[in-house]
Amino acid sequence: MLRKTVVNRLVDILGSQNVYHEKEDLLVYGYDSTPALQYLPDIAVFPRNEEDLLFAMTVANEEGMPIVPRGSGTGLSGGSIPIYGGMVIGLTRLNRIMEIDEENLTATAQTGVITLDFFNAVAARGLFYPPDPGSQQVSTLGGNVAENAGGLRGLKYGVTRNYIMALRGVLADGTPFSTGGKCVKDVAGYSLRDLLIGSEGTLGIITEITVRLITPPQDKRTFLAYFRDIRTAGKAVSRIIAARIIPSTLEIMDNTTINCVEDYKAIGLPRQMEALLLIEVDGHPATVAQEAAGVKEILEKVRADEIHEAKSAQEAARLTAARRTALAAVARVSPTTILEDTTVPRSELADMFAEIERLKKKYRLKLATFGHAGDGNVHPTALADERNQEEMKRVHAFFEELYDWVLTKGGTVSGEHGIGISKRVYLERQIGKGGVAVMRRIKNAFDPKGLLNPGKMFLDGPDNARPNLAPGGSNV
């Protein structure tokens, strides 16, 4: 139970508009975009500057309260959910872009800047920040760093990690840290920067981020290809990569996703097709022309049923937007949307589609699959109802078997959404007891009291918060 004096201390320094402690206010900070999990924090604070943040952390330390960093709450593994209660620190008010440095081709921003706003701000100066998660209109840069977010342009341009040059922030006990800088080469000591990227708010709170920028591509061509058979779409992906063509975007949607997007947006996607590939090649106009011809040739050779090329930048943007709405579109269909993040080496992609299809039939599930095919990373998404226990058991068994298959193929249980709460059961299966033990030691070195985002990454939270598939993961 939170003492009134604690609330008063925080209100005195941060102001009442930046401190929430009534249940009805706290409800919204108890969940993120992961289904079937909700845990109330004791208090939620929104620092306006680093002094506010340090003060809030001092109070949390004095009270021995868990500290849970939160960006926009679009996470898909439960990372910002306070399963032990405590203090949620919302970072969205630290939202200033501080510098765009055209001499060094870097930009520095506070953690709470929205990804798309940042992209647009650097684009206005003729520069390009490629990481573009599907959530870019809402997600924060800090959340992207903490999850090492990928995006639609990941295949050619890489993920968030590939752009991070420096990070500033504070450890759980309030000790400030700064790692990296604007130097393109820097091997002074361990790379704490790389350790913090993808650390899911368990090692430190990031306050400021410096990224590398590049010049935007001069030209771009966008294709949509439709297939009556999803394995052929998988084959097309492998052939494009084997031909040494690296599109900036190579995304897939299956028949269920096509229909959900069509119901949502009505943009004229053919409902009878089993799969769609969205392919974009960009770069110097001569290279783009050559790669576009190569892509077309491969699509024809594997016998794609229809191949369309966008006639204008507006049409290309409309097609990409259709892919970006996939999760929102499938989420409307059923009460519970359980989206996973299976990733395999690209050569195994066609077989993964076959395995997903086999398991979908075996467990009699309604499933939509879409994702970053070029990265070997797709999101099989169960459209279910958490109130139906029998169906949830089948969903759970489906993912268990699929993850076992993925691991035998050298794949990973999370390509981009992180471990958080929902993948903790799978982490040891992938990296072994030794891997988990080393990670625990690292966590302990950064946060010996275990105050920062406890119960994430490692399997030591309350039992009912184990997999996201367990209905009723809640203390509300």
Ligand X SMILES: Cc1cc2nc3c(=O)[nH]c(=O)nc-3n(C[C@H](O)[C@H](O)[C@H](O)COP(=O)(O)OP(=O)(O)OC[C@H]3O[C@@H](n4cnc5c(N)ncnc54)[C@H](O)[C@@H]3O)c2cc1C
Closest approach of Cβ 4 to ligand X, in Å?
A: 27
Closest approach of Cβ 370 to ligand X, in Å?
A: 10
Closest approach of Cβ 92 to ligand X, in Å?
A: 8
Nearer to ligand X, 177 or 227 (CB): 177
Nearer to ligand X, 455 or 471 (CB): 455
Nearer to ligand X, 147 or 282 (CB): 147
The phi-psi region of residue 298 (left if phi > 0; otherwise alpha if psi is between -120 and 50; otherwise beta) is: alpha
Closest approach of Cβ 297 to ligand X, in Å?
A: 29
Closest CA to 226 of 306, 308, 296: 306
Nearer to ligand X, 239 or 372 (CB): 372
Closest CA to 117 of 129, 105, 102: 129
Nearer to ligand X, 151 or 234 (CB): 151
Catalog residues that contact ligand X under the rule CB under 6 A.
Answer: 32-33, 68-76, 79-80, 91, 111, 133-135, 139-140, 142-144, 146-147, 149-151, 200-201, 205-206, 327-328, 416-417, 453
| 199: three-class secondary structure by DSSP | coil
Nearer to ligand X, 284 or 449 (CB): 449
Closest approach of Cβ 59 to ligand X, in Å?
A: 18
Q: Where are the alpha helices (DSSP H) in 125-191?
A: 141-147, 154-157
Please check whether residue 237 is in contact with residue 250, taking contact to mean a CB–CB distance below 8 angstroms: yes
Please check whether residue 458 is in contact with residue 431, taking contact to mean a CB–CB distance below 8 angstroms: no
Closest approach of Cβ 377 to ligand X, in Å?
A: 9
Token pair 């981009």 in the structure block, residue: 416
Please check whether residue 449 is in contact with residue 455, taking contact to mean a CB–CB distance below 8 angstroms: no
Closest approach of Cβ 169 to ligand X, in Å?
A: 6
CA 396 to the chain's CA centroid? 21
Structure tokens at 16: 């009442």
Closest approach of Cβ 361 to ligand X, in Å?
A: 27
Sign of the alpha-carbon torsion through 356, 358, 362, 367: positive
Please check whether residue 350 is in contact with residue 275, taking contact to mean a CB–CB distance below 8 angstroms: no
| Other beta carbons less than 10 A from residue 316's beta carbon | 20
What DSSP designation does 131 have?
-
Nearer to ligand X, 221 or 379 (CB): 379
Question: CB-based contacts of 298: which residues, under 8 Å, 6+ apart?
Answer: 236, 239, 240, 243, 245
Nearer to ligand X, 235 or 324 (CB): 324
